[in-house]
Structure formats: structure tokens, C-alpha cells
Amino acid sequence: MSTPKPPLHILIAAPRGFCAGVDRAILIVEKAIEKYGAPVFVRHEIVHNKFVVDALRAKGAVFVDELEEVPSDRPVVFSAHGVPKAVPADAAARGLDFLDATCPLVSKVHRQAERQVDAGRHILFIGHAGHPEVIGTFGQVPEGFMSLIETEAQAESFVAPEGRELAYLTQTTLSVDDTSTIVEILERRFPGIAAPKGEDICYATSNRQAAAKVIAARSGAVYVIGAPNSSNSLRLVEVAERLGTKAKLIQTADEIDFDWLEGVQTLGVTAGASAPEILLRGVVDRLAVHFAVTEEEVRTAQENIAFKLPRDLAVA
């Protein structure tokens, strides 16, 4: 006689997974392959997810680190995280056909950075050093016009350039709570600092963090499906842990740790903005092999945003 499976109630966050910027970036690569034929080159990972990158590679995408690796007769796509101005300038100088898959919400931050510099302000950019989005945003303005603020301590100790007004902008995939604390410090220390027009942290990041908080509050543990280099996915883990719920980032069902789930009766599951739904379903299916699973979707917001494709691909 077989032993009955232990019960496990799974709370699935909504919204979760792909955002409009990721959908658009993937579609740009797919449409470019349709239009130009394979191979189509992509500078850096189009989005931070190995499953997505491998799927596009199988269709004919070739991922490279630098433009020098792109043959002169093949098109190149820039990733959703954005690139410094020097990159498209270099591509144009080499005569390359290029397509920019930068998320429109990241591009909005780029344009704000240009406007603040044009207004004579020094920008404090709240973000994580080395992240492609930060590198791309710093590359929109002349060197020395922007300073990176990663922590509350840095916000407290920053010394403003003499005679320069200040502005702040933020990476789009940050923790909403962390960022608001840093902003409070900057606004207290520099009362005249110019704020961005509208929220820089993107709607998808905010919505996924809000949903993660709700499921974490009701769960004994939370799995976040996403890549270890995905900023928005890492922030979802932090959001759950701050509520006192243990949380872990996994990329696929193969990384499920059943010992870690010992004693857990309610499990929250969500996915970062670059993780496809198929990975979440794979996790639930694997759990169902070991547990008597019941599912409940917990929706905290509706998303119906879509971004247009570049004109060259709109009818491809």
C-alpha cells in the first residue's frame, strides 16, 4: 500500500513572469530572424534567462559580448537592458544593421538623464554597480555627470559637486522599499534635488514585488523562478525574506530542494519578469510528483501593457 502524499497548497502570484519589455525584446529577435534569416547576432543576453536565451539560440540567434564579433553583413540586436550611446554609434560606423530592443521604460530613464544634464544638474543614479542597465544609463551622459548610489550609507555620505544642482534617477528593477528609503535620505540631505517625472521603477517590478509580499505573508516558504543575474528576481527573494518567510531563487524544477520544503504546508511561487510561464508550470508539476498539490492564484493587479515593435519589424 502506497504512502499518501503530504498536502501542499501552492499560492501562485499574479502578476508574475514576463513583462511587456521582455515580450517585446524576445519578439524583436524572433522577427529579426524571420526578416533577415539566421544567424542574427545579439549583443549580450537579450534578457536574463538561460531558458529564453537557449530557445532563441536554437532558432538562429548568436549571442556575443562585443560588436567586434558581429560579421559586417549580419544584423545585431541590442538587449532589453539598454546600451551606452557609444554602442549604436559604433555599429553605425561599422555599417551594421542594428535593432534596439531596449525596454521603452529604460529608454525613458535614458532621456531623463539627458535632460537633467542639459539642465546643468549632476545626477545621483540609484542602482547596482555592474548591472547592464546601469552601464547603459551611465553611457547616455558625459563622464563625471552621474554618480552611483547603491546603499543608504552612500546616500548619507555623498558629497555634492560644488555649484551644481542635483537630480536623482533609478534603475527600473530595484526594490521599491529600498529605493524609497534612499530617496528619503537624498531628499532630506538635498531639499532641492530634482525627482524623476513619474516612477522610474517599472510597473512590472512594482507589481511583482507587491504580489510577492501577499503570497509570502501567507506562506511557509517562497520559490522565486528566475536567473541569478536577474535583478528583479533577486529583489523578489528579498521581499519575501523581509516578511520573515524563507525564500529561494531557482531557475528550473531541477533545483527544487525537497529537504528545504520539509514541514512546509503552504508554498508561495512567483517568477521574475524574464522567466517564462513554462518554467513555473514545470516547478508545479515536479512538486505534484511528491505532494498532493492544490493551487490558488493570488492576483493583486491586472497588466495589459504592450509596447510597439521597431518600425522596421512591425510588418516583418
Residues annotated as part of the active site: 133
Residue 306 backbone zone (phi > 0: left; psi -120 to 50: alpha; other: beta): beta
User: CA nearest 179: which of 161, 195, 190?
Assistant: 195
Question: DSSP per residue over 101-162, as a string?
Answer: ---HHHHHHHHHHHHHHHTTEEEEEES-TT-HHHHHHHTTS-TTSEEEE-SHHHHHH--PPT
User: Please, are residues 232 and 17 in contact by the beta-carbon 8 Å criterion?
Assistant: no
Element (H, E) at 287: helix 277-290
User: Please, are residues 147 and 122 in contact by the beta-carbon 8 Å criterion?
Assistant: yes
Taking each helix axis as running N to C, give the angle between helix 231-242 and helix 176-189, from 0 to 180 degrees, rounded to the nearest 10. Answer: 90
Query: Can you say how many angstroms the Cα of residue 282 is from the centroid of all Cα atoms in its chain?
Result: 21
Beta bridge partners of 294: 9
Q: Which residues of 273-287 are buried (b: 16+ CB within 10 A; e: fewer)?
A: bbbbeebbebbbebb
